[in-house]
Amino acid sequence: MIEVGRMQNLPVVRMDESRIWLGEGAEQALLPRQEAPQQTAQGHFLRVFVWRGNEGELLASLSEPAAQLGEFAYLKVSMLTGPGAFLEWGLKKDLLVPHAEQPEKMQLGRRYLVKICQDDRGRLVGTARIDRCLEKENIELAAGQQVDLVVWRFTDLGAAVIVDGLYSGLIYRNELQDGFRRGDRLKGYVCALRDGGKIDISLRRPGRQGILEAKDVILEALAATGFLPLHDDSSPQQIRRQLGMSKKAFKQAVGGLYREGAVRLSEKGVHLQN
* pLDDT one-digit tens code per residue, 216-270: 888 988 988 889 999 888 887 788 778 877 788 888 888 889 899 998 898 889 9
- The answer to whether residues 168 and 158 touch, using CB atoms and an 8 Å cutoff, is no
The pLDDT of residue 207 is 66
Check: CB of residue 199 under 8 Å from CB of residue 169: yes
End-to-end CA distance of the chain: 65
- In the prediction, which pLDDT does 117 show? 97
Classify residue 37 by its DSSP letter: -
Model pLDDT, residue 106: 98
**pLDDT reported for residue 217:** 87
175 — pLDDT class (breaks 50, 70, 90) = confident
Enter the CATH code of domain 207-272: 1.10.10.10
pTM of the model: 0.76
Residue 173's CB is within 10 A of a number of other CB atoms, namely 15
Domain ranges for the chain: 7-61, 72-131, 146-202, 207-272
Mean pLDDT for 201-209 is 77
Neighbours of 231 (CB within 10 A): 17
Residue 136 banded pLDDT, cuts 50, 70, 90: confident
Beta bridge partners of 30: 21, 59
Task: Please state whether beta strands 72-80 and 95-98 pair in parallel, antiparallel, or not at all (unpaired).
Answer: unpaired
The CATH homologous superfamily to which domain 7-61 belongs is Nucleic acid-binding proteins (2.40.50.140)
Q: Alpha helices, DSSP H only, in the chain?
A: 207-225, 236-243, 247-259
Does pLDDT of 178 surpass 80? no
Mean pLDDT score of the chain: 90
Exposed, middle or buried, 43 (CB in 10 Å: 0-12/13-18/19+)? exposed
- pLDDT confidence bin for 108, thresholds 50/70/90: very high
Which residue(s) pair with 170 in the sheet? 160, 200
Question: Which of 2.40.50.140, 1.10.1740.10, 3.30.70.1400, 1.10.3720.10 would CATH assign to domain 146-202?
Answer: 2.40.50.140
| Average pLDDT estimate for 162-176 | 89
Give tens-digit pLDDT for 3-44.
999 999 999 999 998 999 999 888 899 999 999 998 999 999
**Identical fold at 72-131 and 146-202?**
yes
Report the range of poorest mean pLDDT among 104-118, 162-176, 196-210: 196-210
Domain 72-131 adopts which CATH fold? OB fold (Dihydrolipoamide Acetyltransferase, E2P) (2.40.50)
β-partners of residue 10 are 46
Give counts: helices (H), strands (E), the chain.
Answer: 3, 18
Question: Is residue 5 left, alpha or beta, with left meaning phi > 0 and alpha meaning psi from -120 to 50?
Answer: left
Rounded percentage of the chain residues whose pLDDT exceeds 70: 99
Rounded mean pLDDT of 156-162? Answer: 93
